[in-house]
Amino acid sequence: MRVLWLQSGGCGGCSMSMLNADTADFHGHLRAAGIDLLWHPSLSLASGTELLDLLHGVLDDTVAVDVLCIEGSLLRGPNGTGRFHVLAGSGLPMIEWVMRLAPKARHVMAVGSCAAWGGVTAGGSNPTDACGLQYEDDRLGGLLGADFRSRSGLPVINVAGCPTHPSWVIDSLMSLAADSLTEGDLDPLARPRFYADQLVHHGCTRNEYYEFKASAEKPSDLGCLMENMGCKGTQVHADCNTRLWNGEGSCTRGGYACIACTEPGFQEPGHAFHETPKIAGIPIGLPTDMPKAWFVALASLSKSATPKRVKLNATADHLMVKPAVRKTRLR
């Protein structure tokens, strides 16, 4: 399976993340799965006219591309010309190249939230008129339009994240190489379900604190980060706490709140990332699928039943009270 990887308006963080894949031989890992990386801006030796010859070969159907991967948002400015980002040596805006190449590829994959929704590049007043391949925040459209389908019949596959987990990208490519990724394997925002049908909350090491609503009050605290520290892990689609980063970590395990980086519009949450907005003391962003009345009732009951150990440890940076040692057998 031949993969062509282009970068547009972004920081290159998804490529950097991908290089942290859990393998000692990155290229060998891809080859073993039948993946041929035709070109990548950081990993390929070819450049200049060699790249342009490759791209023209794709356009005239002499070079086949199975997956066109785009990393970074698509810059349509100024005034729709796309000339904020011109592919070096070609004289053509990157958005023009993408619009010409996408119909030639069997599959089109947005790598990262910038390519999927516009991401950080589209934040603020969005001076570059940045958008995603097929979405603009949570609105269908983007550069290629709501009706775009690749030659396989699939929409753009949105491997969202800021950055993406290495395995989200590689496992998506492997699924395509095995011809086992169907439209039914994509969620309503066209993210692969193998990671997007999970919640960041699943597997969080702070779950005991969450259960008793024993909350952290400052960044170093051990308690749950939802009530005060801006964590959206109970709402966000990703498997960050079961598919660990670099084999051992995640945002919440590192003491930082989940900021919903796989979701459209995460870059403009309407509040500081490290603060939880509330109305009458109740967090606005409630856990997925939980009615407000249930949350209020459960939170009140949980707080009243919080063990002293959990309550004290929640606002400390180390265990103040250790779990009691008790017999666990019946007799």
pLDDT digits (tens, 9 = 90+) for 19-40: 999 888 999 999 999 999 999 9
> If you count them, how many residues does the chain have?
331
Taking only the tens place, the pLDDT of each residue in 100-149 is 999 999 999 999 999 999 999 999 999 999 999 999 999 999 999 999 99
> Which residue is associated with the tokens 């920081």?
11
**Tokens matching residue 267:** 């870059």
Residue bearing the bigger pLDDT, 135 or 291:
135
Band of pLDDT at residue 286, cut at 50, 70 and 90: confident
Band of pLDDT at residue 315, cut at 50, 70 and 90: very high
Mean pLDDT of the chain: 95
Tell me what pLDDT residue 289 has.
Answer: 86
Termini Cα distance of the chain: 60
Tell me what pLDDT residue 238 has.
Answer: 98
- Is 140 strand, coil or helix? strand
| CATH homologous superfamily of 199-331 | Cytochrome-c3 hydrogenase, C-terminal domain (4.10.480.10)
pLDDT at position 284 over 80 = yes
Band of pLDDT at residue 68, cut at 50, 70 and 90: very high
Share of the chain above pLDDT 90, in %: 88
Locate the domains of the chain by residue range.
2-196, 199-331
In whole angstroms, give the CA distance from residue 270 to residue 279: 14
Share of the chain above pLDDT 70, in %: 100
pLDDT at position 331 over 80 = no
Query: Which string of DSSP letters, residue by residue, matches 76-138?
Result: --STT--TTSB-TTT-SBHHHHHHHHGGGSSEEEEESHHHHH-GGGG-TT-TT-EE-SSEETT
Tell me what pLDDT residue 49 has.
Answer: 95
Tell me what pLDDT residue 69 has.
Answer: 98
Tell me what pLDDT residue 282 has.
Answer: 83
In whole angstroms, give the CA distance from residue 263 to residue 266: 6
Q: Residue 328 gets which letter from DSSP? A: -
Taking only the tens place, the pLDDT of each residue in 194-229 is 999 999 999 999 999 999 999 999 999 999 999 999
pLDDT at position 74 over 80 = yes
Band of pLDDT at residue 295, cut at 50, 70 and 90: confident
pTM for this prediction: 0.94
Topology annotation, domain 2-196: Rossmann fold (3.40.50)
Tell me what pLDDT residue 298 has.
Answer: 84
Tell me what pLDDT residue 9 has.
Answer: 96
Tell me what pLDDT residue 299 has.
Answer: 85
Query: Which string of DSSP letters, residue by residue, matches 242-301?
Result: TS-BTTTB-TTTTT-----TTSTTTT--SS-TT---EETTEESSPPTT--HHHHHHHHHH
Taking only the tens place, the pLDDT of each residue in 150-168 is 999 999 999 999 999 999 9
